Amino acid sequence: MCRFVIYKGTSPVQLSHLLTRPCHSIINQAFDSRLRLDHRRPINGDGFGVGWYDSVHDEELGSQPCIFTAVTPAWNNVNLIRLAEKIKSPLVFGHVRATTTGSLSLDNCHPFAYGKLMFMHNGAIADFHLIKRRLQADLSDDVFNVVQGNTDSECAFALLLSKLPDPKAKSFTTRTLQQAMLDTIATLNLYAEEAGITEPSLMNFCVTDGESVVATRYISSRHDEAASLWFSSGTTFSEYAQGGHYRMAKADKRENIIMIASEPLTFEKADWMEIRTNNMVVITPKMNLLQIPIVDKFYVSPSDPAALNRDTDFAAAKGLLSPHKALAPIQPRKNAPQLSI
């Protein structure tokens, strides 16, 4: 199953500090995913992508993100290494892919973009072939033609675009993106119900307009655990020891950096916190981080004992982190400290 990472900061970050230098960077997770349980296909080698926004707005270049994708394994792409050393950005999306739906092609590599917006997905829409025609029929012609590949993920992005008042807008409020995300999830659940689909869908979605970020950790089940999702925040993110050992420093109460990731990028205690299942995480333009419950028929309140007893077997079968059971058995690689969260 895929892995993604999101960076938003008050200052631009050199892409290499996210993608290539950390010993457990998103690129290294493509072949060394410590928290992945599926040993049948333990490699995220079906392409990768990175998207970023300019540090300084240039009228000639526009406000849309730049996207670099490739179908080669991320760890073996020299162009990625070269670019990561020379590009800085205050908002970065990175993704390594393990196919679930769709062929191995550039069109199917995340992140997807439209206008100012970028979108990524970790998970799978259950029995997508049963609802694909219905989903496409509900799209406007303009949005329908946005889809270039054949993945469930890009179709979900098109559905999200259709929920926006104007997907071509030059700016979006945080609340507008939140509502579009909620409407997308609700519509996918409606399609599944009408088609008689009983297997849960894993919908770890994330979207940004370059100012706000909205991400979800979600599964259409009251009993199963969702795919893993974590966040980290602080004032600086830097290497403290040779070999790519990074940590998040918290010099004061300011949030200069916020990261969201399928799997932690560091092995430092207390660097990362787990996002609750069936919750939305929002990063506002002013660097506030909000965790908001997605209250629908699959939501279980934290005060309900069932919230602590979600079944991790489904996540494990899909090659995803079982957050409450998978951490203890993980053994560090040689010369790497143990992950402790």
Q: Which residue has the tokens 């205690």?
A: 269
| 3-state secondary structure (DSSP) of residue 108 | helix
Among the listed residues 2, 23, 155, 206, the single catalytic one is: 2
Cβ-contact 179, 188 below 8 angstroms: no
Do the Cβ atoms of 136 and 145 come closer than 8 Å?
Answer: no
Q: Which residues pair with 279 in a beta bridge?
A: 217, 293
Give me the amino acid identity at 315.
A
Strand runs (DSSP E) across 97-140, as ranges?
A: 112-114, 117-124
Rounded Cα distance, 247 and 313, in Å: 31
What DSSP letter does each residue of 24-87 carry, written as one string?
T-TTGGGT--TT----SS----S-EEEEE--SS--TTT-SSPEEEEESS-GGG-HHHHHHHTT-
Residue 94: both structure tokens together? 């990175």
Q: Which residues pair with 124 in a beta bridge?
A: 202
Indicate if 2 belongs to the active site.
yes
Structure tokens at 294: 């997605």
* Strands ordered across the beta sheet of 48-52: 66-70, 48-52, 88-96, 3-14, 257-261, 230-234, 273-274
Q: Which residues does the annotation mark as catalytic?
A: 2
